[in-house]
Amino acid sequence: GENVEQHPSTLSVQEGDSAVIKCTYSDSASNYFPWYKQELGKRPQLIIDIRSNVGEKKDQRIAVTLNKTAKHFSLHITETQPEDSAVYFCAASRGGGSNYKLTFGKGTLLTVNP
Amino acid sequence: SQTIHQWPATLVQPVGSPLSLECTVEGTSNPNLYWYRQAAGRGLQLLFYSVGIGQISSEVPQNLSASRPQDRQFILSSKKLLLSDSGFYLCACRRVLRGSGGDTQYFGPGTRLTVL
């Protein structure tokens, strides 16, 4: 089955700096890669996703890049703010089909220091 | 749009007691539904998923079970809770993304279970 590795497990940055979280996946058939943000005590929320037919997607201060050849994808947060502090999870799936499942990375605790 | 409800929001149970957590979904029909557990400070562990009424797939062997008695209802149960069953239980629903040609998962608000 699919295996997703996520690094780093913790990341601390100063407000205004950029943050990068990286994930690798094992199943070359995976074609959908979402990122979730989970604030303390809350549910994970989808913040951005990318499909294998594109290499980059951006939404204001967050962007995701995908390298299918190397089987890795990354989340980039620019101009970080204290409210960006949370646990971020990457995930991968083959997409579609009745047995659709996401395989999650173990998460990255991002702390943005004022 | 879809709304996922989970009940109860928090629960404190003694070791050896039974468990029943409920997840209901509005705004969709015949959804794929998922149960995840998240231990304190840890990642998301997929426990069960269901593609339809009465259809349950188990991902991890344990003392939990799941049932889907109705199209939009997913229940997580245990006959005897263990200390290790403590955690944050999340129900998720598959949702088709319009415009992007695919689908993703959205999570319910969760149930925080403490086993003492």
State the pLDDT at residue B86: 95
Q: Which residues of A touch B23 (CB under 8 A)?
A: none
Q: Which residues of B touch A102 (CB under 8 A)?
A: 46, 104-105
- Section B3-14 average pLDDT: 97
Q: How far apart are CA A110 and CA A7, in angstroms?
A: 11
Q: Tens digits of per-residue pLDDT, A26-76?
A: 999 998 999 999 999 999 999 999 988 889 999 999 999 999 999 999 999
Share of chain B above pLDDT 70, in %: 94
Task: Provide the pLDDT confidence category of residue B102 given band limits of 50, 70 and 90.
Answer: low
State the pLDDT at residue A99: 66
State the pLDDT at residue B2: 83
State the pLDDT at residue A98: 63
List the single residue in A with minimal CA-CA distance to B47: A101
Of residues B18 and B97, which shows the higher confidence score? B18
Task: Provide the pLDDT confidence category of residue B98 given band limits of 50, 70 and 90.
Answer: low
Q: Does B99 touch chain A (CB under 8 A)?
A: no
Distance of CA A33 to the CA centre of its chain: 8
Contact B101 A51 (CB under 8 A): yes
State the pLDDT at residue A38: 97
Would the pLDDT of A81 be above 80?
A: yes
Specify burial of residue A20 (Cβ count, 10 A radius: 0-12, 13-18, 19+): middle
Share of chain B above pLDDT 90, in %: 74
Mean pLDDT rounded to a whole number for chain B: 91
Q: Which residues of B touch A42 (CB under 8 A)?
A: 109-110
What is B24-92 written as a DSSP string? Answer: EEES-SS--EEEEEE-TT---EEEEEEEETTEEEESS-SSEEEEEEETTEEEEEESS--GGG-EEEEEE
